[in-house]
Structure 1
Amino acid sequence: MRRRLALLVAAAMVLVLAAFLVPLALLLRAAAEDRAVAAALVQAQSLGALVATADAQSLRLTVEQANVDGAHPVTVYLPGGGTVGAAVAATPAVRLAAQQGSFTVAHADGREIVVAVQGLPGGTAVVRSFVPEADLRRGVTRSWLVLAAVGAGLLLLGLAVADRLAVAVVRPIRTLAAVSEALSAGELDRRAPARDGPPEVRAVAAALNRLAARIRDLLRQEREAAADLSHRMRTPMTALRLDAEGLADPGDAARMLRHVDALDRALTAVIEDARRERAAPSCDAAAVVAGRIAFWAVLAEDQGRAVRCELDPGPLPVAASAADLAAAVDALLGNVFAHTDEGTGFSVSLLGTARGADLVVEDDGPGIAPSAGERGVSGGGSTGLGLDIARRTAESTGGRMTVAGSRVTLELLTDR
């Protein structure tokens, strides 16, 4: 934008300078021609007055002195056919002037000036002077160079002023872009300066600040709503705990209580996570995935499922919180247990990459429907949110989720 503004100003100034300087240059050239012709005409007229009053000797001396001192050769054609001054044959202009009077004639190499002196006893005398082209253009080149220098100086000055004005406009826009990028990265405390730049840019900055404040309020309300919803689940969970404690079989009671305790910890983590201001998340994917596999391996053993694991020992830092990554792993493994028959084996692979880590979960079942992964869409009668949780976790790190048959791959990046 800065370059475009400079080009726009340069084009406008070139047009203005051309409209001003070209006519001025032509006027200077015409003035130089008129000045040279006027000087020669005055000289010829003064000699014409001398022809009418002076004797032949005085006239000859005066004309010779004029030719020595002057820049233009002068010739006087007397009525009897004699000449005084420069030896130049009578031209058609001289013969015409003897009949019709004084005038000037333009030639390719200069300007011819003829002055008729009438009323002499022997007829009409003619004074001829010739101004060469070099004298007609004397000083014009220098004047044009001065005009060109002035024009170039004005153009450079205009470009400098335009560049400063462009900077005053572009800098606030770049600031707005930087603030927008920061807001998109989750830095909701960033605000744009609302006093820089032209009024339109200030209005955009004020609107962006209001939008950021509104987004922050909406996220706070969403976190509070999620925390309240999670807290409401404690009542049925308490009833479930009491039912578990009342089981007759101590083994079943202990197992159910372990599940209730795990659910209680999950709800507590949800509440704390919902009410916490989000910073740039990070966790060790190797530790999180290993922990979740250990949890699901117990249930897999009860159902006779073969578990195949290939885990990088780590550490494998990724740009996701431990809770979000654990939720994604639980969603993928939960789908295996929910949508495949008991005894169906599955594999989990976590390998480090140059940019982070790749998590692959694959089961031996029939595969996942092509529409799976869309929020609210399920091919197995569920809510359709499990794969969406995994997808959003991968995308929050800057990666992606891909589904191919029964194989789900999460690309987890280290830095968003």
Structure 2
Amino acid sequence: MTRRVALAVMALVTLVLLIAVLPLGLSLARQERNSFRDGTVAADRALAAAAEEHLPVRGSTAPLRRFLERSTEPGDCSAVFDAAGRELAVTPCPGATGAQAAARSEQWAALARSVLAHPRTVTRSQDDRLVVAVPVGDESRTVGVSVLSRSSDATDDRIAAMWLRLAAVGVGGLVAGALLAVFLARWVGRPLRAVDAAAHELGEGDLTARAAAGRGPVEVRRLAATFNTMAARMEALIHGHRAVIADVSHQLRTPMAALRLRLDMLSADADEAAGPDFAAAQQEIARLSRLVDGLLAVARAENAVPRPVAVRVDEVVADRLAAWAPVAQDRRVRLTARCHPGLTARLGPGDLEQVLDNLLANALDALDEGGHIALDGLARHGQVILTVTDNGPGMSRSAQETAFHRFSGPETSGTGLGLAIVHRLLTANGGSVRLEDTPGGGLTVVLELPPGDR
């Protein structure tokens, strides 16, 4: 987040600087050059006005040359031409060689003839210098041409210094904007990351997770406070549900145990005619006990917040296979397993054992002698796939659609809560479960478990 915000602010500052500073620099540079040109033209016009008085009618041009030397500034060079375009006086340009001076005289003579033909002020750039030619005399009578050449180095230096100052201002603004963006991004991002970490911990099952409040802008502090309030209420709600489950377990099991004991005592003293009735009553009490146990198991599963850990699926499958093998042998049902070694999933502690116990119990209840239950585990497309397959009577399509609901239907032989517990435990851990028909008859339960290496 910090990098994205800093880059966005830097891009915005760069755009603003380009829009504001670049036109400003171009405008200032244009003003400097215009000022330099206007100053040079004004100086040449003043020179032309003063040179008119020193134009020789007959005789020596020495006074005119001395006048040019006195009137020009250091670094300038000038020349005066008469009405015929002949050079009367000239001050050489600094550093010019003989060949350069000769070439410059020819260029200035051509420029003077052009001005004499069409009296006007002419400006040209030659060798990093500005050359200005101004007619001497008034518009009705042009008696000569004054040419002034001035170096533009000082103006170029001022423009370069101006660009350097603007560049420094732009870089400073860009750095300041980047620092401010990083500060603001961290100011906002750190408390948001704290809220995200707390939410992750809460989702992993740590009900005591809270976000650090009191940092960042007002909106982020309000978000952290709201999250902490929600987490506290969730913790109180789950603990309250667990307390209710414990109370219900105690309150229901105790009177049912007492009722079963009374029935056992009464059946011992009853005559033979009342024996079947007592036996039926005891069966109903046993069924009610199983139903209460199933309801409590569903309630615990629904209120549990798992904290996933890495679980060795192959070891759990082998352990449950060994635990249920005696029951399968008594019912003459074949129980087999095939699982890839080292297969690992992330589940709450004990959840996979409870899932397999419910599925194996349901399958054993549905099978007759000679039946077969197979457990297969493998990794596929980043998921751990575990299947429990039997060759029993199976389930109809409508029954499969409601099988994961409590008391799912008349085809359920037990309490109708086993598959509801399985569904709840898997979805709470980020997995899924579905039912499929076994080829040749029977039911296949497909479990998709989150991989242990994510």
**1:387 to 2:404 alignment:** no
**1:75 to 2:79 alignment:** yes
Q: Would the alpha carbon gap of residues 325 and 242 (structure 1) be closer, same or farther in structure 2, given more than 3 Å must change?
A: farther
Q: 1:271 Cα shift?
A: 12
**3-state SS of 1:368 partner:** coil
1:225 is aligned to 244
Q: 1:191 Cα shift?
A: 0.8
Paired residues in the alignment total 395
**1:180 to 2:228 alignment:** no
1:334 is aligned to 361
Q: 1:239 Cα shift?
A: 0.9
Distance in 2 between residues matched to 1:43 and 1:223, nearest whole Å: 100
Q: 1:287 Cα shift?
A: 7.8
| Percent identity between the two aligned chains | 28
Q: Would the alpha carbon gap of residues 264 and 126 (structure 1) be closer, same or farther in structure 2, given more than 3 Å must change?
A: closer
User: What whole-Å deviation, never above 9, does each CA across 1:74-121 have from its counterpart, x for those lacking one?
Assistant: 221335764323443224334433xxxx745467987553444438xx
Q: Would the alpha carbon gap of residues 31 and 157 (structure 1) be closer, same or farther in structure 2, given more than 3 Å must change?
A: same
The equivalences for 1:15-414 within 5 A come to 15-54=15-54, 56-63=61-68, 70-79=74-83, 82-86=86-90, 87=105, 88-89=108-109, 90-97=112-119, 103-105=121-123, 112-118=131-137, 124-130=143-149, 137=156, 139-234=158-253, 235-244=255-264, 247-248=267-268, 280=307, 285=316, 289-290=320-321, 292-293=323-324, 296-297=327-328, 301=330, 304-310=331-337, 319-322=347-350, 324-325=351-352, 327-340=354-367, 342-343=368-369, 345-349=371-375, 360-369=387-396, 370-371=400-401, 373-376=403-406, 377-378=408-409, 380-381=411-412, 384-404=416-436, 405=438, 406-410=443-447
Q: 1:343 Cα shift?
A: 2.9
2:273 is aligned to none
Q: Would the alpha carbon gap of residues 181 and 295 (structure 1) be closer, same or farther in structure 2, given more than 3 Å must change?
A: farther
Q: 1:184 Cα shift?
A: 0.9
Retained in 2: the 8 A contact 1:391–1:410? Answer: no
Gaps of 5+ in 2: 91-104, 270-277
User: What whole-Å deviation, never above 9, does each CA across 1:100-155 have from its counterpart, x for those lacking one?
Assistant: xx745467987553444438xx9644322245777764543453344334323321
Retained in 1: the 8 A contact 2:9–2:181? Answer: yes
Retained in 1: the 8 A contact 2:195–2:224? Answer: yes
- Please tell me the root mean square deviation across aligned C-alpha atoms, in Å: 4.6
After TM superposition, the score normalised by the length of structure 2 is 0.69
Q: Would the alpha carbon gap of residues 325 and 118 (structure 1) be closer, same or farther in structure 2, given more than 3 Å must change?
A: closer
After TM superposition, the score normalised by the length of structure 1 is 0.75
Q: 1:374 Cα shift?
A: 3.0
Retained in 1: the 8 A contact 2:298–2:420? Answer: no
Distance in 2 between residues matched to 1:60 and 1:172, nearest whole Å: 82
Retained in 2: the 8 A contact 1:362–1:407? Answer: yes
Distance in 2 between residues matched to 1:196 and 1:146, nearest whole Å: 39
Distance in 1 between residues matched to 2:17 and 2:261, nearest whole Å: 89
Q: Would the alpha carbon gap of residues 279 and 142 (structure 1) be closer, same or farther in structure 2, given more than 3 Å must change?
A: same
User: What whole-Å deviation, never above 9, does each CA across 1:288-309 have from its counterpart, x for those lacking one?
Assistant: 6257515744xx72xx442324
Distance in 1 between residues matched to 2:34 and 2:389, nearest whole Å: 98
Q: Would the alpha carbon gap of residues 291 and 215 (structure 1) be closer, same or farther in structure 2, given more than 3 Å must change?
A: farther
Retained in 2: the 8 A contact 1:21–1:147? Answer: yes
Query: Larger deviation: 219-228 or 237-246?
Result: 237-246
**3-state SS of 2:4 partner:** helix
